Structure 1
Amino acid sequence: MSPERKPSIPDVGELGLQSDCGSCFGLCCVALPFAASADFAIDKDAGRPCPNLRTDFRCGIHSELRPRGFSGCTVFDCFGAGQKVSQVTFGGQDWRQAPGTARQMFDVFPVMRQLHELLWYLAEALTRPAARPVHADLRAALEKTERLTRAGAEELTGLDVPAHRGEVNALLLRTSELVRAGIPGRKKERRGADLVGARLKGANLRGANLRGAYLIAADLKGADLRTADLIGADLRAADLTGALFLTQSQLNAAKGDAATELPQTLTRPAHW
């Protein structure tokens, strides 16, 4: 009798979770609003194209975003939702050529981004051996979420996203507990904590629960963040070395250098 074949674990590339701006119709530059702040130089309403968006859907100041006051654009990541909406949901028909689709396309984009973010976390969870007790449920949730991303525009705009996020989050919390339980010693529970500007240089945060924590401008240089749960943590201007459970948008917002260790699924930001 042949040995049982282990199911393959899809990676972020197979799931299309890495942004491909060349295959997108500039949706993040149109569908989403932003307000004049340290991150954006101007106000822009949802559904109104950014004045820097060119006719070919590329950014006219891409190489100068930070000095021109648009650092918020450099940290945003859609988890591949832009090209999914552009090329799959709307079959490659852009909102300029078919203006009647614009409003619906812009409404679908933020829904798709949330679904792709969930896929990112589920794919990450499935790579954790310690989470094996919930691997079957994680895979089922991943397959369900992936199916939803291929639904029609009307179904996507009518989707109860908070309810679906709640189902997936229960599994991610269980995954976090299982993974962090294997770390010896008492783990720090700082979920949602205000750690703005905190001096955490060299701190032992291995296995810590930092979900939703405010780590803006925190000094995390040399801190041990292995297996720390960073879902939803705000890492703007934070120093990171050896951090795990990161998304590209968190990484883009953080401060690092050549010595900062990164997971293979993430790309070192050009502005570091």
Structure 2
Amino acid sequence: MFWEEKEFSKEIILSTQYQEDVYSNVLPQYLWPIMSGGWHQFCPYNNLVKVYECIDGKTIDESPLYDKNNPYENRDPRLDYTIFISDRTKFKGQIFISRPGSGSVDDFTKYNYNGYSIKKFCDENYNGNLMNSGCNWTLIRYAEVLLSYLESMLESGAAIDQALLNSTINKVRGRQAVQMPPVTITDQNKLREIVRRERRVEFAFEGLRYYDILRWGIAADELNGTFTGMKLTNDPANYTSYKVDDEGYYIFETKKFKKGTHELWPIPLSEMQINKNLVQNAGY
């Protein structure tokens, strides 16, 4: 549904309309790997990659299928649908290679070579001008309606039963291209964690995550800290080529988010000069 040939999927409720040569967009140019003519502008963090469950429906901390030395195997298929992984993902007949020390064009041409890139919207069957795409941008799709309905029922304190789970979250997880095990947990706290995780992986890069963590009040927890890229070594104690954490993942960058301030933007000075009753948001 993220490619032009599927842009009229019955799951799409609302989308921004584009047409090649008339009113087009340049998203492919920004997302495609440099090896395929794109700019490879964005690199996902490993904290997203780690959230994808194993194919048994358990998290990587719980599943016996998870192999820390081969962390991308036996995972929710949406991981490979969503993210280019260096030395693993094949695109237009080539293996995507973009990690520190790889020497690939995606390595030495761009600074953001952490081993990952956004794959979700990259249609390898597209052969047109990357800066003249007619593919629509989905704003609301049915999966969001289902997961939002379940979340609203959960947070309202309503009784949660298997029938509700089957008609909402399990419809999303059970699609032909995904086929993840159904959710059966009805405990409120445990289910809240599952629903939030499902939203994160299902809607990755669709523009919902930031506003989700704001409304859940966890933005500072999620956006503060040191973020890693792909796994570079299974022997981090003796690895010296690049900075890695104690699991062997490339240390990419550090971000700071000030709780109580960065949840809001500052009110522009020009607006405050017009309306003297406006009070600047805290921290600015």
Asked if Structure 1 and Structure 2 have the same fold, meaning a TM-score greater than 0.5 normalized by the shorter chain, the answer is no
TM-score of the superposed pair, with normalisation by structure 1: 0.28
Larger radius of gyration: 2
Higher strand share: 2
